[in-house]
Structure 1
Amino acid sequence: MSTEDESTRSAEVSPEFAAADTAAQFVEINGNRLAVEVLGPEDAPVLIAHHGAPGLGSRAEPLASFGRLADTYRVVVFDARGSGESEGNGPYSHEQWAADIDGLREWIGAEQIIMAGGSYGGFMAMEYATHYPDRVRALVLRDTSPDNSHEEKARANALASARVRVDREKLDRIFQGRVRDDDDLRDCWREILPLYDYDYDPAKVEQRVQATPYRYQAHNYAFSVNIPQYDLKAVLPSVTAPTLITVGRTDWITPVACSTTIAELVPGSRLVIFEKSGHSPQIEEADAWTKTVREFLAEVCPVPPTANPAR
């Protein structure tokens, strides 16, 4: 692990995008029922974590990583509209997804939250921080990008990979949001999944393929409509919340350069690079990543004496 700027539950590699295996409560937010799980002390600071990969991701990803902090923080994870077990009423715009985050903040009864997210969830964490700046106490990002420039880098990395030979047509379909149905999304997902991890294990890749909840409509909208318009570089200098940025050294889809740009734009932010991780340092270097996040939050968002972490 290396650090730049101001910075300084062990886990087997598991499916980052797997469906959650615990029961959710269903909460109506902005006319759409969301699958939500809440962990941790009721009087602790609230952390809302957004999963990545619309139409492929689910609350299982942030539950596995940020759920480790539920001994100290009130952790809220959920399936975004159109993903996982949540309803799929549109629209699937960044504005709507950010409004849903704020609806969850109101529902949980928090004036301010720690906002967290990885990959596409990082897009949404930054969207929320720039749309609702007064509501954010701290911002935690993982393997994400400030704009859509990562797509060109990712496509080049995929086609140059010595690990597997990627089908260009399937790569283009998933990146351009042109998959035909859930089965086609599964096939395209299987094509690029070998690129994600620091260490490649074909058996674990197939486990992820089988565990992923496929919702092609949300995926297509995100990649054909949202990402072509996505660019937060002009507004990131206005972020005032303390910000931690983490990234794996060999991340192929949102490379280190993307996180470096975020760190250069967000005043006083901290960038931490995990040297033996791909797109998932929260899994591949779980202990170090969790320690980094805990220490950052303890500094910028200390738990009040009234909170009882033992509960």
Structure 2
Amino acid sequence: MTISATTQRVRINGNDLAVEVLGPPADRPDAPVLIAHHGAPGLGSRAEPRASFGRLADEYRVIVFDARGSGESEGSGVFSHEQWAADVDGLRRWAGVESIIMGGGSYGGFMAMEYAVRYPGRVRAMVLRDTSADSSNMGRARENALATDRVEIDMEKFDRIDTGTVRDDDDLRDCWREILPLYDHVYDPEAVERKVAATPYRYEAHNYAFSVNMPDYDISAQLPSITAPTLVTVGRTDWITPVESSEKIVSLIPNARLVVFERSGHSPQVEQAEEWTATVRSFLHEVL
């Protein structure tokens, strides 16, 4: 089955976003719309959700995009959670639908939950991956970085990327290279270098996210208001948003379920791709 894909510049809330629409096949013109938010502001891009959620484009109209300040999108305005959530709703309106499936991993999971809280009538279902309801995971992540026996982490670089105080795009690249060995279940130095080379660096959005947004980030009290069926997935050895973070989310969202992937770190959508995709597809079939 052939899945169509189009990429375009879309003006959303006064900012040009790089947007890609995947599928659905011509015989499914009324397929539900799934919008997936990438992680890591200033480091992430639509490439990751295209590779993971894009596998569902045989059944759904999957929209992936570079968030304001990331990837190939314009970086005007502020990089607040309120603004990024408003941009998601702008994409929903542009897509011409009343409600969407909302997806996101890591920081994209923060934004998926923010959107579901801020726009409660617009979410039919939600799929989260390796994320957290508050910033408490950052302390655990620092402990894990100090305790790792894979590599010796330069904690000065760790602290710059963790607190959003990197100096420029080159510094962001160096700090990113420093912590990348921690992410996967099985450490592969060559894979780390490939990721370093493939990453688009936008230090302004990263710094804002981690120096302004993250210190006060805590959406825990709002999660019980989410009524959309929610799937939470996480890798067993995730160092930065550990299983406990996902367990907390599931305990707070009334209609949520948790699936732990035993042979994955922060990216079960990559490390156990077939199992992760089948889990998400089965969940959506059930709840929709």
Q: Give the TM-score range, shorter chain.
A: over 0.9
**Counterpart-to-counterpart distance in 2, 1:38 and 1:243:** 23
Whether 2:62 is the aligned partner of 1:79: answer no
Whether 2:125 is the aligned partner of 1:138: answer yes
Whether 2:267 is the aligned partner of 1:280: answer yes
Report if aligned partners of 2:6, 2:22 keep a CA contact under 8 Å in 1.
no
2:196 is aligned, of 194, 209, 212, to: 209
**Counterpart-to-counterpart distance in 2, 1:75 and 1:282:** 16
2:23 is aligned, of 31, 34, 40, to: 40
- SS at 1:270 equivalent: strand
1:89 is aligned, of 47, 58, 76, to: 76
Residue 85 of structure 1, CA deviation: 0.2
Q: Structure 1, residues 33-52: CA drift from partner, whole Å, max 9, x if none?
A: 00000011242000000000
Residue 23 of structure 1, CA deviation: 7.0
**Counterpart-to-counterpart distance in 2, 1:75 and 1:209:** 26
1:18 maps to none
Q: Structure 1, residues 115-155: CA drift from partner, whole Å, max 9, x if none?
A: 00000000000000000010000010000000000100001
Report if aligned partners of 2:56, 2:281 keep a CA contact under 8 Å in 1.
yes
- SS at 1:37 equivalent: strand
Report if aligned partners of 2:163, 2:211 keep a CA contact under 8 Å in 1.
yes
The 5-angstrom pairing of residues 264-303 of structure 1 reads 264-301=251-288
Residue 229 of structure 1, CA deviation: 1.2
Q: Structure 1, residues 95-124: CA drift from partner, whole Å, max 9, x if none?
A: 000000000000000100000000000000
2:43 maps to 56
Report if aligned partners of 2:234, 2:260 keep a CA contact under 8 Å in 1.
yes
Q: Structure 1, residues 192-228: CA drift from partner, whole Å, max 9, x if none?
A: 0000000111011001101100000000000000001
**Counterpart-to-counterpart distance in 1, 2:172 and 2:107:** 17
- SS at 2:209 equivalent: helix
Q: Structure 1 unaligned segments of length 5 or more: list them.
A: 1-21, 302-311
Whether 2:11 is the aligned partner of 1:28: answer yes
Q: Structure 2 unaligned segments of length 5 or more: list them.
A: none
TM-score, normalising length: structure 1: 0.89
- SS at 1:85 equivalent: coil
2:238 maps to 251
Report if aligned partners of 2:172, 2:203 keep a CA contact under 8 Å in 1.
yes
- SS at 1:189 equivalent: helix
Q: Structure 1, residues 233-276: CA drift from partner, whole Å, max 9, x if none?
A: 10000100000000000000000000000000000210000000
- SS at 1:26 equivalent: strand
- SS at 2:87 equivalent: helix
Task: Report 1 or 2 for greater relative contact order, CA contacts < 8 Å, sequence distance ≥ 6.
Answer: 1
2:141 maps to 154
Partner AA of 1:27 in structure 2: V
The 5-angstrom pairing of residues 229-244 of structure 1 reads 229-244=216-231
Q: Structure 1, residues 56-92: CA drift from partner, whole Å, max 9, x if none?
A: 0000000000000000000000000000000000210
2:105 maps to 118
